[in-house]
Amino acid sequence: MSRILIIYHSQTGNTEKMAWAVADGARFIENTEVVLKRAQDTTLDDLLGAAGLAIGTPENFGYMSGMVKDFFDRTYYPAGDKVFRKPYVVFISAGNDGTGALKAVERIALGYKFKMVYDPVISKGKLTDDDLAKCRELGSTLAAGCQAGIY
């Protein structure tokens, strides 16, 4: 059984809808347990117990949300080398282009020594059915790779 942790922050509801789509995609893979949590409720134990991680954030002022950053702040030092090469993916609800939020997440993930395993999903402007389909694909790809042990 592989556990996929999906952490997110959402104010308008768009990132939350994306998180649920990622979860649906991950649940499509047999023997996958999905833990879907708001960033402020996510703990170090959640991170350490996950085979893979999906990070969802809105783009706030060209950066990730403060709550997602708070999760990273709370877990970085205690996680230490315990998360080396943990596979992760990113999904972003962006009012602009999302690149600032993505770069911020990637920079922090580099410090953790996470391994990005699939292209990020960035929904620009209004959330579409195509965006949600890409999120489901993101979740199933992460879960399938973790389940197969290729990440």
Q: Residue 143 corresponds to which tokens in the numbers above?
A: 């879960």
Query: What average pLDDT does this structure show over 18-36?
Result: 98
Domain segments of the chain as ranges: 2-148
Query: What average pLDDT does this structure show over 33-49?
Result: 98
C-alpha triplet 121, 14, 1: angle, nearest 5°: 60
Does residue 50 contact residue 86 with C-beta atoms inside 8 Å?
Answer: yes
Q: Which residue has the higher pLDDT, 96 or 5?
A: 5
Q: Which neighbouring-strand residues pair with 106?
A: none
2-148 CATH: 3.40.50.360
To the question of pTM greater than 0.85 for the whole model, the response is: yes
Residues 107-144 have pLDDT tens digits of 999 999 999 999 999 999 999 999 999 999 999 999 99
**CA nearest neighbour of 22 among 90, 119, 123:** 90
